[in-house]
Copies of this chain bind each other. A is one copy, B any other.
């Protein structure tokens, strides 16, 4: 590896790619958005299509980011729970089982009426403290660790003998129904079944205990008064066991990496990879996030790192909500972040890859396995004939078709920071 200090940035609009939207005259949200900075990257840089894992395979934010930073999700992924827990600040030991949780709302009959408790903005720390209090002696000999995160998000860790992570979600992912009963998953092997049954039983007891503790809690009494849905139930999902990832710097020949990300899921992956995670004031993970503060954090810290991965969550939210205007506005936020970086950084010494971690078309409302448009720009990147950043032009670009795992090697190549193989 040549020892220069050229910098590398991966800037992702979460779920930014999409499909033709009839209400936009057949344009995608990226095409409909006003994106002068993204188009500058496309005009001066080199574009391509990225299938994160395999063509057609829809992929999560966690598995996509694993691929992007150099881990094989197909062999190394053990569920989202561990990343969420780590991102929230809950440590895990081998044998622990972790869950992503939502604070949600159930009605008097126990049916879910809001999976996100009205995207509750405050009070969840108090609710989490109450849950920890009632669970302080554990459940069936299993220790309980529970912590709230941003909005309705939280994480749960179970610690004890004989647990297994191959259990189903309590969150049914729909409203109008009761929370599901946790149970061993179909793919749970026979030898792990007893442990999975025990884990499921503890989870089901936890859900009941938490509901009792939350339903009449002061925070929820006040929410009811304010006509807000009470956060009166906790719905665990995405069970997983602690993963064992080699450090980012080790798998990339000593490169020092950091993350500027908004959501605990990706933040937790960064911590597992032993990357620094940089907090940004004003980064909310929502549609109201301060994209300039995020871009400034990248610019402020890139001098201390070889590579920074930055993820702006908002486009994915618009996609999941099937809200084209919200997604367009979020893409324009990503554009403004890029504009800030174009104005601020030394591009004789910096290379950026701009793209997404997966497509979240507003016409689908979920992740799809369509190709994500990507563009590389800056130091070392040759230009091509593409003029605009979009799903439809990217296929004509000079990068061709890549996988998520190709991004860092390509960035290192443009930066001149990768060793020649052969002579």
Q: Does A392 lie within 8 Å of B401, measured CB to CB?
A: no
- Chain A interfacial residues counted at CB < 8 A: 70
Q: Does A57 lie within 8 Å of B418, measured CB to CB?
A: yes
Q: Does A400 lie within 8 Å of B398, measured CB to CB?
A: no
Q: Does A395 lie within 8 Å of B396, measured CB to CB?
A: yes
Query: Which residues in B have their C-beta under 8 angstroms from that of A394?
Result: 398
Q: Does A58 lie within 8 Å of B413, measured CB to CB?
A: yes
Quick check: is A189 within 8 A (CB to CB) of the other chain?
no
Quick check: is A63 within 8 A (CB to CB) of the other chain?
yes
A422 contact from B63, B410, B414, Cβ within 8 A = B63
Could you mark each residue 72-91 of chain A with 1 if its beta carbon is under 8 Å from any beta carbon of chain B, else 0?
01100101100000000000
Q: Does A382 lie within 8 Å of B398, measured CB to CB?
A: no
User: In the complex, how many angstroms separate the beta carbon of A402 from the nearest chain B beta carbon?
Assistant: 5
A381 to B18, CA, bound (A): 10
Tell me if A's interface is mostly helix, strand, loop or mixed.
loop
User: In the complex, how many angstroms separate the beta carbon of A153 from the nearest chain B beta carbon?
Assistant: 12
Known: A62-B422, A412-B56, A420-B366. A395 touches B392 (CB 8 A): no
CB neighbors of B among A23-60 (8 A): 26, 28, 48-49, 51, 53-60
Query: A-side interface residues toward B, CB under 8 Å?
Result: 18-20, 26, 28, 48-49, 51, 53-64, 66, 73-74, 77, 79-80, 100, 238, 265, 361, 364, 366-371, 380-385, 391-402, 406, 408-414, 416, 418-423
